[in-house]
Amino acid sequence: MIVVTGGAGFIGSNLALGLNTRGHRDILIVDNLENGIKFRNLRDCQIADYLDKRTFLDRLQAGRFDNAAIDAVFHQGACSTTTEWNGRYMMENNYEYSKIILDFCARKQIPLIYASSAAVYGCGSVFREDPAHEAPLNIYGYSKHRFDQYIRERIRKIDSQVVGLRYFNVYGPREAHKGGMASVAFHLNQQLLETGKIALFEGCDGYANGEQRRDFIYVEDVVDVNLWFYEHRELSGLFNVGTGRSQPFNDVARAVIEFHGRGELEYIPFPDRLKGAYQSFTEANLSALRTAGYEHSFKSVEEGVRLYMQWLNP
C-alpha cells in the first residue's frame, strides 16, 4: 500500500494519477474533505481507500498501522495558505502532523517523500538548500522551514529514505478548489473568460510592471520528480523542485492570451498588505537535484501553460 496524504488536493491527486499510470492501485488517500469540492480531484483516480486526516492520525498513533504493509508515504497534506497568520493552526497542520508521520516512517523504515516549499527562502536572491539562504516571510514558510530543520537534525540517524521536496510555483490541473491560492495561470484564465482582460501587479522591488519573476513549474513535472525519488530509495535529503529558470508574470499572461487568441493586459496597484511579504523573484538552484541523478528536463511557461489551458478549456 502507498499512502498519499493531502491526496484529494492539487499535487496529491496528480500524484495519485501518476502512480496509477505506473500500475499502482493500492493507494490510501488521506485528506480533510471539509471542503467537499475536492472530491472531484479523486473521481478518476483508482485508489484502495480513503481516510479522513484525523482518523488516520488517531489510528497511526494508536498503532493500528504498525503491521500494515506500507510501501511508501507521500506526505503532501498541509495548509498551504500563505496569507494564514494563525500560527497555532499552521504549526499543528504543517509541523506537528509531519513529525508524527516522520516518526512512524522512521520507526517502521518506510520511505517518506514530503512536500516542502520555496517559501522557506523568503525574499533572498539565492535559492539553494542551505540554512544560510533561508529566511521565510510568513508563518506558512516558517512551518515548512521548521520541519526541514527537524529533518536535518535527524536524517543521519534514520535508516530509511527521507526526501523533502521544495516546490516552487506549481501550476496545472486540479487546483480550482484552492481559490485565492490557485496559480496565477488559473486566475488569469478565469479573468480573461469573465472580463476579456488580464490584470497583473504594477512594478515593485525594482521590477517593471508584470516583470516580477518566479520559477513556474508544471504539476506533471513535480509528480515526475516525486516518482523518480520513489524509484531511487537510496537517496535522501532536501531538494529544490523548480525548472531552474525564472520567468516574468508577463510570460504567463502572454501564454494565456495566445491560447485564447484574445484579451487585454492591464496593471493594477501593488497591494499594501503584500509589501514586505512577497517574493518578487524565485529561481530554483537545481545543483542538488542534478547531482542526485535526476536528468529530466522541465517544461517552460509557454509549454506548460498551453497544456494547462487545453485542460481548462476543452
- Residues annotated catalytic, as ranges: 140, 178
168 touches 216 (CB < 8 A): yes
Q: Of 71, 67, 75, 76, which is closest to residue 23 (Cα–Cα)?
A: 71
Q: How many Å apart are CA 112 and CA 29, to the nearest integer?
A: 15
Neighbours of 97 (CB within 10 A): 21
Q: Of 123, 119, 168, which is closest to residue 280 (Cα–Cα)?
A: 123
Dihedral sign of CA atoms 100, 104, 105, 107 in order:
positive
- Burial status of residue 155 (CB atoms within 10 A of its CB: 0-12, 13-18, 19 or more): middle
112 touches 154 (CB < 8 A): no
Q: Which residue has the cell 484579451?
A: 263
Q: How many Å apart are CA 10 and CA 41, to the nearest integer?
A: 8
Q: How many Å apart are CA 311 and CA 172, to the nearest integer?
A: 9
Q: How many Å apart are CA 223 and CA 20, to the nearest integer?
A: 12
**Tell me, what DSSP letter sits at residue 131?**
G
Q: How many Å apart are CA 252 and CA 85, to the nearest integer?
A: 29
Q: How many Å apart are CA 11 and CA 87, to the nearest integer?
A: 24
User: 152 CB contacts (<8 Å, ≥6 apart)?
Assistant: 131, 238
